[in-house]
Structure formats: C-alpha cells, structure tokens
Amino acid sequence: MQNPKPRIAFLTGATGFVGSHLAEELVQRGSYDEVRCLIRSRFKWLGGVSGITPVRATLGDLERLWKALDGVTHVYHLGGVTRAPDWRTFQKNNVQATLTLLGAVAQAAPGTIERVVVTSSLAAVGRGAEDVADETAPLDPVSRYGKSKAQMEQALAERHDMTASFHEKLPITVVRPPAVYGPRDADLFDFFQAVDRRVCPVVGGGDGRVSLVYAKDLARGVAEAAEAENTAGETYFLGGRAQSCTWNEVKAAATDALGHGALTVPVPGPLVGAVGAASEAWGWLSGSYPPLNREKAREIRHACTVCSSEKARADFGYAPATSLAEGVAETIRWYREEEWL
C-alpha cells in the first residue's frame, strides 16, 4: 500500500503580526506534517513557537525558494508591507513579490500543491462599496496600500483563471481581512495607548463603523479557507464575530479592560489629513513611518471600512469566536505583560 504524501505548509510573512498567529494556528491544528516558515533574518514573534521549520531565504533567492517549496501542499502568502513612504515599495513587495512566489510554486511543487492562499485587504475595495462591502464590490482603492493589493488581485485574475496559473495547476484562494487587532499588533496599539493615557482622539464623534477581526480568529479562518475543498478560485472577506462596531464601542471595551475611563476628543473629518501629515512629519524626524499617515488618513475619510463575511460563512463555515470585549481585553493584557502599556 502506497504511503500518502506528507502534508507540508509553506508560510511567508511568518515573523509578522498576523503571520506569527497563523504559524501558531497551523502547528496547533495538527493538519500538517511540517510547517515551513520563510524567515529573512530575525525570528521576532516566532521565537517561542515550536514545531516550525525555518527557511532562511528571501523571495528573490529563487534557488533556495525552489528547494524550500519542494513537496509543499499548501502555501500561505502573508508577506508584504502595510505602510511605506513611496509607491515603489508597495509595488515591489505586494505585487511583484506575490507573482514571483506563485511562479516559484508552479515550478517547484506542480505535483503536490493543493492550495495557495494569498492575502489581500479590504483596502483594495476603497470607494468600491458605500456601506458594507461584499465580494462583488468593484476595486476602487484610495491609498497606495489599497492600490497595491488591488493590482495584485487584478494580476492574479488577468494572468491566471485562479485555478490554472502559470504553466501548471495552481488553485488560488484570496482572503481579504479588514482591520486586524490582537496581541503583537503595533498599528492599532496607538489607539489603545491613547485610551490608556486617558485622552482618546476619534474621528467625528466616534460613531463611524468599522470591521475589526481578532488576529487568532483570522488565522483560523485563513487555515480553514485553505483546507476547504470548494474555495479554490474564490475571494473571501474574513471579518470579526460582529460585522462592525463603532470606535466608541472599541474605546468602551478598552476602558473596561484598563479599569479607568478616558476623555474622548473628537477630530473633525477634514482635520484627519492634517493629523496624518503631522504624524508623518514626526515619523520622518524620528526615522520611522507611522501607522497614522496621509495614506491612512485618506482611507479613514474616503474608503469603505465595513465588510460582510457571509460568503465565507456559507462556503466553509467561517465563524470567528472572539467578541470585541474578549479580544480587546486579551490584547491589552498582552500589551501590559510585554510592557507596551
């Protein structure tokens, strides 16, 4: 009797915020004989994760990449950048790197690959939906990040039919998370830090709605999308347990977890751009590119921030379990343990 082929996962972006949670999820699920994680230099959040096989390479190192992809059955592509000061960086890391990886997969693992999951973003939709975005919404991004994710998706659709890519069969599933929060997150941390300091700026009166997904729920959903038989060639939004919440509700969950209140400081919509520009200028002086910048301000003001996960629920039973209160409390607990707060 012939032994079944080993199930091997290959993950990019594994040292990042969401990628590290996905690496943990893949190991804990027990679905794979091996979980290979592409690591450029530092292990970062993977330092305490046992059960992974580190692969020291970059997507530009094709010889090592082909070797690492040999025998792989599932590819999870989370690598990329979420903020950068110029378009070239987004295009190189989010568009070209994705196509490079898919080309390598098609050449290195044509006989074993079962699924490739590529991560996009709600930001790719931009103005394409007025209230709640679903997978039928057109792509009309308002930021460079959103534009790079939209170009990536369009490249997949134009070059391949999503189920027969390059020269070999390559079943692709695209997942689009909205804003993600949880332990290890450095972007929404600024919001929680402001609440901890008892002064919380919010756009408008804090009643604007946003879809938020807890990182561990997202990781579970990405793995489920990869392992379902009916998701090849499809695109899915993966939001949180509640379709949306207001920033006032996020603030309330944070004050409950912190054990003290915070003054809400409304920021008028037209001033958001100025705040983003000032934050960007300060980042330039301090040698970093901040989470709140002019591009992010444009998304806050003009892009759709709410998505529906109904298609994912219907197709593969996606059911995020973490409530906003639970997720925020766990996130703040982690920030305190790591002395971020």
Half-sphere exposure in the Cβ direction for 183 (13 Å, CA)? 17
Q: Is residue 61 part of a domain?
A: yes
- pLDDT of 209 reads 92
- pLDDT of 281 reads 64
- pLDDT of 291 reads 64
Whole-number Å distance between alpha carbons of 329 and 332:
5
Question: How far apart are the two ends of the chain, measured CA to CA in Å?
Answer: 57
Q: Is residue 17 part of a domain?
A: yes
- Length of the chain measured in residues: 341
Number of domains in the chain: 1
Residues 6+ apart with CB under 8 A from 13: 19, 38, 77, 78, 79, 80, 119
* Residue 94: CATH number of its domain: 3.40.50.720
C-alpha separations of 253 from 92, 228, 279, 327 in Å: 38, 34, 26, 9
Q: Is residue 18 part of a domain?
A: yes
pLDDT in tens, the chain (341 residues): 455 789 999 999 999 999 999 999 999 999 999 999 999 878 888 877 788 999 998 888 889 999 999 999 999 999 999 988 889 999 999 999 999 999 899 888 888 999 999 999 999 999 888 789 999 999 999 999 999 999 999 988 776 555 544 444 589 999 999 999 999 999 999 899 999 999 988 887 888 899 999 999 999 999 999 999 999 999 999 999 999 999 999 999 999 999 999 999 887 766 665 666 666 666 566 666 666 666 666 666 667 899 999 999 999 999 999 999 999 999 999 999 999 99
Q: Is residue 115 part of a domain?
A: yes
Alpha helices in 160-265 (DSSP H): 189-196, 215-227, 247-258
Q: Is residue 132 part of a domain?
A: yes
Residues 6+ apart with CB under 8 A from 80: 13, 93, 94, 97, 98, 119, 148
- Residue 136: Cβ-neighbour burial (10 angstroms; 0-12, 13-18, 19+): exposed
- pLDDT of 62 reads 87
Contact 78, 138 (CB under 8 A): no
Q: Is residue 250 part of a domain?
A: no
Q: Is residue 148 part of a domain?
A: yes
Looking at the DSSP bridge assignments, the partners of residue 212 are 179
Q: Is residue 245 part of a domain?
A: no
Q: Which of 128, 228, 129 is nearest to 175 (CA)?
A: 228
Question: Are β-strands 115-119 and 74-77 bridged in parallel, bridged antiparallel, or unpaired?
Answer: parallel
Domain that includes residue 95, residue range: 8-178+214-239+306-320
